Chains A and B, each alone.
Chain A
Amino acid sequence: MLPPSPAPHSPTLLPIMKYVDEFREPEKAQALYREIAQLCKQIARPIKIMEVCGGHTHTIFKYGIEAILPDNLELIHGPGCPVCVMPKGRIDDAIAIAQNSHTIFATFGDAMRVPGSKMSLLQAKAQGADIRMVYSPLDSFKIARDNPDKEVVFFALGFETTAPSTAFTILQAAAEKVPNFRMFSNHVLVIPALQALLNNPDLQLDGFIGPGHVSMVIGIEPYEFISQQYHKPIVVAGFEPIDILQSIWMLLRQLGENRCQVENQYSRLVEERGNSVAIEAMNQVFAVRAKFDWRGLGEIPNSGLEIRGEYAQFDAEVKFTIPNLKVADHKACKCGEILKGVLKPWQCKVFGTACTPETPIGTCMVSSEGACAAYYKYRTHIGGGHREPQMNLTL
């Protein structure tokens, strides 16, 4: 039977979303745009700002923010998309685990289509591996409790935003002594990645829009080195369009006044020291890896998390034999340069032709937070031409 037809679209029928709707109001966007245009005129030189987080990239494209910005202000889309930075070798490792008999492999949906060297998790599922999409690590834990005769492995990925949730899931598995639950940890850390970007001479940035939800966990203190050592401003931002515009305005004010400070636009959620309970759980379960390989950025010291020895029984890397090989990216794929902000997606030869969201070659086309997928979906720059600037704030 067909599902019932959706109700006709009417703004009055949409539920009120507190802490969301107020940060989407067009008149606030217009006021901020006015201030941004004025400051860009005053600063009167090319300005490059990187939004680190893929969630911000998504908001910027969804609401058409990039298209309305003054000509001398450019947004560079950073590497803050955990799916985008996952190297092929780790996907191969995940598939190798999933293909073991009597194993259920649980993952966030985002990771399903990331290409490994031979196939994606979705293709491995089509070939018979028991791979299941879950919304929460706790869902995978429930699968483990419900299937005591199977090994259940959760593909733990994400930045500091997500790591506390997987840490708490392991702590719960330890407390309940669930013997068949493991995690394949691929958590990555924002600060070492920012450091690597700042040390890259190809990339000349004027400032950063800082990741709001990572900062909700780690606080804003860890960014001090950006202002103190690299003399760049950073504004930690929320994820609604007004949050982004306000953060751009705050960054431009700093640049106009020759300041470089760590500022917090997202004070309704982010505290200076972050969430100590979440940090403690993360530190209890995870240790920092000496190095971790990032797609496009290469090996970055101290940039990944592994499960501590005390919780080794929950570590899939201890339980399973994994290939653990480094696999080079596709020659034509420019994800590396795109993740570093050196190239724009449409400057990649396979963008929109051989590489599309349905058949991605590179990771930036897989996740909705990847710069290529965002450019492709919202078609801001197809063919290198700009479309008419307009801001979509009525959604």
Chain B
Amino acid sequence: MCLGIPGQIIEITDIERKLAVVSIAGVKRQVNIACIVNEQHPPETCIGNWVLVHVGFAMNRINEEEARETLKLLQELVDA
């Protein structure tokens, strides 16, 4: 039930209703971005953001730097 899948926002389609299009491995679908927009993050700034998509909503942004840090730590384990 709690499953989500990473996708990248490629287009904002309806600012008022907070709707956008995400690309999930090349497959495009509409998502609601209400959970990730506020005064600091207006809808138009979301293009290019990686998000986690769950039941048709972008639930949160993926922090690319944190992902890199985790992968770096794992690579260090592999190389150890």
Contact = CB atoms under 8 A, between A and B. Distances in A.
A351 B77 CA distance: 40
A213 B35 contact: no
Contacts of B38: 276-277
B55 A165 contact: yes
B10 interface: no
A29 B56 CA distance: 31
Nearest to A157: B1
A213 B67 contact: no
Chain B contact residues: helix, strand, loop or mixed? mixed
B77 A135 contact: no
Given A158-B2, A269-B63, A164 B35 contact: yes
A195 interface: no
Interface in A330-373: 367, 369
A302 interface: no
Contacts, number: 137
A275 B1 CA distance: 19
A54 B55 contact: no
A54 B2 contact: yes
A276 B34 CA distance: 12
A329 B39 CA distance: 49
Given A19-B6, A136-B56, 15 more contacts: A18-B50, A31-B74, A54-B1, A80-B2, A108-B55, A110-B1, A136-B55, A138-B32, A157-B1, A158-B2, A213-B59, A268-B63, A277-B34, A281-B35, A369-B1
Interface of B: 1-6, 8, 17, 25-26, 32, 34-38, 50, 52, 54-57, 59-60, 62-64, 66-67, 69-71, 74-75, 77-78, 80
Interface of A: 15-20, 22, 27-28, 30-32, 35, 53-55, 80-83, 108, 110, 135-139, 157-159, 161-162, 164-165, 168, 172, 211-214, 216-217, 239, 242, 246, 265, 267-269, 271, 275-278, 281, 367, 369
